[in-house]
Structure 1
Amino acid sequence: MLCLFLMSVKPLPSNMAIVQKSSQELKIVGVYDGHEGYGYNFISTHKDDGSEFTMTFQKVDEAVIKEYDLDADLFLNQKFEVTYTLKTVVTKDENGFDDENEVYTITRLKAL
């Protein structure tokens, strides 16, 4: 199965590499705040002081989108347990320096 997966993936550009920063799935509880061009936003609270923050996810697994169409307004202001992964994409800029971008991907949603 792994061989089939590798054969179906397009090669990365020569200036790009993906580095796995977190191999475990992470979780937060948050209220869905909508989708913008840059990602899907959830409002959560810090456990230590109760202050709010917005967490943005750039990608959502296809299975999650099939169950929860986050592009529609149906799930706005709904509370979810969000399971996600974090990867760091490293590219080289025009001067040969590493440029790191974190990509947060929702792998599972559970309505609360």
Structure 2
Amino acid sequence: MKSKKIIQLVVLGVFILILSSFKNETKIALINQDTKTIIATFDGAEAYGYNFIVSNDDDEESTITFQNADDEVLEAFDLASEALIGTTMKVTYTAVTEIEAGEDGFENEIEVLTITKLEQIEN
């Protein structure tokens, strides 16, 4: 009887160890949250975020994709619609760098951009 309980405890312990080895990506920490403002032209929404085109001092264009937008922004502007494409806007956003532990055990930095305020600029 005593050996049966010992065997059950050992099997239970092995089962717990096996289950604990199956870990998905886990967020470890938030590193930095900055608020920034840019002037950009709305270029449309995709499944992965909201695209805006910005020009630097050398008139070179690049695209910034915002993964999130605050509810107030989405209520005021229908970013899923194509009607706003080409509209110049003042975009205020936060940039949060997250560190995630990957399945391979290495840490990955991911920058998540969230629109906190939008103002349409008249051309």
- With normalisation by structure 1, the TM-score equals 0.80
| CA deviations over 1:31-84 (Å, ceiling 9, x no partner) | 10001111100111002x111111110000010000001001121110000000
In the alignment, does 2:38 pair up with 1:28? yes
Q: Unaligned stretches of 5+ in structure 2?
A: 1-23
Whether contact under 8 Å (2:25, 2:101) holds in the other structure is no
Would you say 1:45 and 2:47 are equivalent positions?
no
Contact 1:88 1:100 (C-alpha < 8 Å) held by counterparts = yes
Unaligned runs of 5+ in 1: 1-12
Residue of 8, 11, 15 corresponding to 2:26: 15
1:73 counterpart (79, 82, 85): 82
Question: 1:91 & 1:107 partners in 2: Cα distance?
Answer: 24
Structure 2 letter corresponding to 1:86? A
Distance 2:64 2:94 in 1: 13
Q: Aligned-pair RMSD on alpha carbons?
A: 1.6
Q: Which of the numbers 105, 110, 122 marks the counterpart of 1:96?
A: 105
Asked if the contact 1:32–1:77 (Cα under 8 Å) also holds between the matched residues in 2, the reply is yes
More helix by share: 2
Match of 1:105 among 108, 114, 117: 114
8 Å Cα contact 2:98-2:111 kept in structure 1: yes
Report the TM-score, using the length of structure 2 for normalisation: 0.73
Q: How many residues align?
A: 98
